Amino acid sequence: MTSTDEKWLEKKISRRSMLKITGASAAGAAVLASGMGGVAKAFGFDILEDDATAQNKVKFYGKHQSGITTDTTTHVYFASLNVLVGSQSELQELFKTWTPLAVRLMNGEQLEEASPGVFTPPDDTGEAAGLDASNLTLTFGVGPSLFANKKFGLSAKRPSELNELPHFPKDQIADQFSGGDICIQACADDPQVAFHAVRNLVRAASGKVTLKWTQTGFTSTPKEKDKKATPRNLFAFKDGTVNPSPKSDIDMNEVVWVQPNESQSWMASGTYLVVRKIQMHLETWDRTSLKAQEDTFGRHRDSGAPIGKKNEFDEVDLDSKDATGNPHISADSHMALARKVKDRILRRGFSYASGLIDETGAYDAGLLFISFQKNPQQFINIQNALGRADKLNEYITHRGSGVFACFPGVQKGSYIGEKLFSAF
């Protein structure tokens, strides 16, 4: 390492310096790591590093994006954006701009070391100052509308499976909660850290993107015998019992990660995100007997066990009957209908509470359903199986919807979405 390199590594970089860094795109470059979230050199370019010393830090670089199989955090800030730039090269520059900013945000760093002066706006909005990384993850995806926009010239690279979701029975999707060219999912164990991340990414892209819709969410993971248990939704039922294991490569390759030759080449090691904003009619639910609630889900509320069984993970037997000869689990229960299909998805749901609905005075609360799958058809098949027969329909209404192709992970020296733009 030369003395010039050492000066670079010791240098505190400003956001303006980082914007210059975004010019780095020497994929596969050998990197001299600083090990402190600082600057590394590769083929004459400077690359921001994951800071291994940061507290509660999730790595930015890797084979897959973060926020998909990494541990679920307690908060999410989901944002859908529309793109305003007019060419593919400008779109490419947008993702280059975001890459070092995302690294710094996930390092728990501010986007500037000190305010440049009182006569200019600070480079960082500042509300996360003094907070650590809080396990912040940032997941970026692109929607079908981005490929349909001719000015970007990406139509030939659109995966055939990436289409707007169809209309499902009982859907009441509002335009203000649907679609979008780009999504950013920011998850963290501090809601202010998640919000700060999206706010500053959007701010750095002022004039290039505009927010279409956003939604905050929260969840809590209880512990049983020092092990993480399944979270509960606002109906108090366990949500995610049949999830595949994020720790299992076999499960994730079968359910979540797009394999080579399964889609467009740039999607290998990526996945598809489905988001649904589902209003839960809490007032109606709270007037429903416990037996009717359990019949709706097909599970006991407290234990999470299939009706007629004792434990959450007991085998489901849809043919089992009670002493009077009636099925334990109703054929139109949510669980029974969902099990009609073999498809599996990885759920990462969050509850939301956004005040009241003006017209009715009811809670505007429910589930920000997020799932990851290697093909959106997996979700579509499950949702079609639920159809109009699902007992749960009486208590929920789908208000928002979106589907996004999430890029594979970012390697050092590359940038978010690089494989999309470099694919032939």
Mean per-residue pLDDT, 370-380:
98
Mean pLDDT of 68-79: 97
Contact 364, 355 (CB under 8 A): yes
What is the Cα–Cα distance from 294 to 301, expressed in whole angstroms?
A: 6
At residue 329, the pLDDT reads 96
In the predicted structure, residue 398 carries a pLDDT above the cut 80? yes
Cα separation, 256 vs 268, in Å, equals: 11
Lowest mean pLDDT among 145-149, 178-182, 336-340: 336-340
**Does the pLDDT of residue 163 top 80, yes or no?**
yes
- What digits encode the pLDDT tens for the residues 264-294? 999 999 999 999 999 999 999 999 999 999 9
Per-residue b/e over 385-423, b at no fewer than 16 CB within 10 Å?
Answer: bbeeebbbbebbebbbbbbbbbbbbbbbbbbbbbbbbee
Q: Give the pLDDT of residue 226.
A: 82
Higher per-residue pLDDT: 29 or 396: 396
Q: What is the pLDDT of residue 151?
A: 96
Distance of CA 102 to the CA centre of its chain: 15
Determine the pLDDT at residue 183: 98
For residues 195-216, average pLDDT: 98
Q: How confident is the model at residue 227 (pLDDT cuts 50, 70, 90)?
A: confident
Taking 60 as the threshold, does the pLDDT of residue 4 lie above it? no
pLDDT in tens, 96-144: 999 999 999 999 999 876 666 778 889 899 999 999 999 999 999 999 9
What pTM, to 2 d.p., does this model score? 0.89
pLDDT bracket for residue 47 (50, 70, 90): confident
Calculate the alpha carbon distances from 33 to 5, 45, 104, 136 in Å.
Answer: 11, 13, 15, 22
- Please name which of 48, 72, 71, 73 lies closest in space to residue 61, comparing C-alpha atoms: 48
Nearest residue to 179 (alpha-carbon basis) of 273, 265, 103: 273
CB 100 within 8 A of CB 45: no
